[in-house]
Chain A
Amino acid sequence: GAGVSQSPSNKVTEKGKDVELRCDPISGHTALYWYRQSLGQGLEFLIYFQGNSAPDKSGLPSDRFSAERTGGSVSTLTIQRTQQEDSAVYLCASSLGRDRTDTQYFGPGTRLTVL
């Protein structure tokens, strides 16, 4: 079946602009995760959704970052007033979210460049 998809693949924006990144999880996966991959910080967890609720937002770096998930499917990560340090690859993953054996499957990521 189809894997996790993310759009856009690449995004270039100017400092101070808002951006929206989209994630389409694998059909039937109730859990969804956002991670950020940057040169200086490696792979960092941002936020976790179970259904439409986000029980763990502990990785969001500032209040400029927010995410939502609607219909238990598509998720959008929004970065307001982008800064150069926001430049990174943003990865989305999904999983069945049912039990302890859960395995996360990743999308191809969105490369964000803030000029």
Chain B
Amino acid sequence: AQTVTQSQPEMSVQEAETVTLSCTYDTSESDYYLFWYKQPPSRQMILVIRQEAYKQQNATENRFSVNFQKAAKSFSLKISDSQLGDAAMYFCAYRGTIIIQGAQKLVFGQGTRLTINP
């Protein structure tokens, strides 16, 4: 079974600085997707960024980028120019691609609570 590990329960960063959140995963599959979701106090899970395992190029969405190391099974999220609105729980998630029973579910890490200091 696939597992996702986020080793940083909490992180903090000064506003306008850069912070990196770590995520590692374990899988025997070669093709899969990785996601970072943000969950503010409103509880709404918001998709931040998505990476396809067969693409070597790291995904980028504005101030958010990932460092995807497939061999190391590592998928970290870098937030540049941190803003107060970035404060939230961040979850790393894995999804397989084989369209069979069970392959569509997301497997989540335990989350990292990010605090932005003004």
Contact = CB atoms under 8 A, between A and B. Distances in A.
Interface of A: 31, 33, 35, 42-43, 45, 48, 50, 55-56, 58-59, 89, 91, 93, 95, 97, 100-109, 111
B47 A103 contact: yes
B62 interface: no
B104 interface: yes
Nearest to B105: A45
A107 to B, nearest CB: 7
Q: Chain B interface secondary structure, helix, strand, loop or mixed?
A: loop
14 contacts: A33-B105, A35-B108, A42-B108, A42-B109, A43-B91, A43-B108, A43-B111, A48-B104, A48-B105, A89-B43, A93-B45, A100-B99, A106-B45, A111-B43
Interface of B: 31, 33, 35, 37, 42-47, 50, 52, 91, 95, 97, 99, 101-102, 104-111
